């Protein structure tokens, strides 16, 4: 019995040491001192204003002075307001078209910029320039091009529909905003796609080439399925950003002609801070926040399901 005890002691000690290594170390109270300040700041500057805004959405507050409680009447009025419906329709149309175009162009350019081309690093830096430029600066440049240069070129070519600024045409003005938004947003999406393309092993392309697959076949069978998570990320972020479009519209059309290019964010800003509809537009903002969350969750769920299938 004594021999067994002596022989078992080193084994028991080793087992205790292994168990100690497997157990995560106790962090003590340090983790709370790091988390609590951030949580407090988040509550004060994010959660509290959101809750306060939800409360004011149930009032007729003009943003200052006296107000009275009106319940859900602001929310009910939103569904019968033609201007609100038009703003949501324009915003969805703009966001969907811009999201598709941005990801098509960004993915095509990213594939080209990861190939064996000369000046690859310089071209990557060049294509990223639009992302660091202010929207107001490039907006005025595009405004000038679409208002002066494009009509002159169209007149010289005999294209009457484009002989005047498309920004003054209620049916075409949104296209000018899309051009500006897509041109600037492509830069950021290219970086995400390049990061995804660099994670694909070169051996997969070599094996596909040996099997006789052409460029398109390699793209759809190898490249696109393997960058699925990056595609999902770009799609969700692009749609979210384009649904909140504001600066591009202000600098290009200011919501015109008439109200044909008014986005939801612009309507909320004008009505809440310039039109004395603070409570009403806060209700609009709450509805819009819910729409954004639902769109992001549905889009993420659908795209993630396709990733797993692929």
- Could you tell me if residue 138 is inside a domain? yes
pLDDT > 70: percent of the chain: 89
pLDDT at 308: 45
- Could you tell me if residue 34 is inside a domain? no
- Could you tell me if residue 183 is inside a domain? yes
Which ranges of the chain does DSSP label H, i.e. alpha helix? Answer: 2-22, 30-42, 48-56, 73-78, 82-113, 120-132, 135-144, 150-157, 173-197, 202-210, 215-218, 224-226, 228-243, 247-252, 264-273, 278-309
pLDDT band at 202 (very low <50, low <70, confident <90, very high): confident
pLDDT band at 106 (very low <50, low <70, confident <90, very high): very high
Q: Residues 137-163: what's their mean pLDDT?
A: 89
Determine what percent of the chain falls in helix, strand and coil, rounding each to the nearest 5: 75, 0, 25
pLDDT at 301: 81
- Could you tell me if residue 53 is inside a domain? no
- Could you tell me if residue 55 is inside a domain? no
Q: What CATH number is given to the structural domain containing 215?
A: 1.10.3720.10
Please count the structural domains in the chain.
1
In b/e form, how buried is each residue of 217-250, taking b as 16+ CB within 10 angstroms?
Answer: ebeeebbeebbbebbbbbbbbbbbbbbebebbbb
- Could you tell me if residue 83 is inside a domain? no
pLDDT band at 4 (very low <50, low <70, confident <90, very high): very low
Given a cut of 80, is residue 33 above it in pLDDT? yes
Q: Residues 269-296: what's their mean pLDDT?
A: 90
Higher pLDDT, 263 or 274: 263
pLDDT band at 310 (very low <50, low <70, confident <90, very high): very low
What tens digit of pLDDT does each residue of 62-78 get? 888 888 999 899 999 99
Tokens coding 151: 């009509």
Q: What is the pTM of this model?
A: 0.82
- Could you tell me if residue 16 is inside a domain? no
- Could you tell me if residue 75 is inside a domain? no
Q: Which residue segment(s) compose the domain that 229 sits in?
A: 89-309
Q: Where do we find the tokens 């006296």?
A: 66
């Amino acid at each position: 019995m004594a021999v067994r005890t002596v022989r078992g002691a080193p084994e028991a000690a080793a087992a205790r040491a292994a168990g100690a290594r497997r157990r995560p170390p106790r962090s003590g109270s340090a983790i709370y001192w790091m988390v609590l300040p951030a949580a407090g700041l988040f509550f004060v500057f994010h959660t509290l204003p959101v809750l306060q805004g939800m409360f004011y959405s149930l009032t007729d507050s003009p943003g200052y002075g006296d107000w009275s409680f009106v319940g859900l009447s602001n929310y009910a009025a939103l569904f019968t307001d033609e201007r609100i419906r038009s703003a949501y329709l324009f915003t969805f149309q703009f966001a969907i078209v811009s999201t598709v175009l941005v990801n098509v162009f960004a993915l095509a350019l990213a594939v080209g910029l990861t190939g064996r081309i000369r000046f690859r690093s310089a071209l990557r830096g060049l294509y990223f320039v639009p992302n660091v430029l202010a929207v107001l600066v490039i907006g005025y440049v595009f405004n000038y091009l679409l208002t002066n240069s494009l009509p002159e070129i169209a007149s010289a070519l005999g294209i009457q529909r484009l002989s005047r600024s498309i920004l003054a045409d209620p049916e075409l003005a949104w296209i000018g905003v899309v051009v500006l938004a897509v041109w600037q947003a492509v830069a950021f999406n290219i970086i995400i796609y390049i990061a995804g393309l660099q994670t694909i092993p070169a051996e997969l392309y070599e094996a596909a080439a040996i099997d006789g697959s052409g460029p398109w076949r390699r793209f759809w069978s190898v490249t696109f399925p393997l960058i699925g998570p990056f595609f999902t990320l770009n799609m969700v972020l692009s749609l979210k950003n384009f649904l909140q479009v504001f600066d591009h519209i202000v600098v290009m059309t200011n919501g015109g002609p008439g109200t044909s290019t008014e986005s939801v964010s612009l309507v909320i800003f004008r009505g809440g801070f310039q039109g004395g509809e603070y409570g009403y537009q806060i209700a609009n903002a709450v509805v819009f926040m819910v729409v954004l969350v639902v769109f992001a969750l549905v889009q993420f769920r659908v795209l993630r399901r396709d990733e797993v299938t692929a």
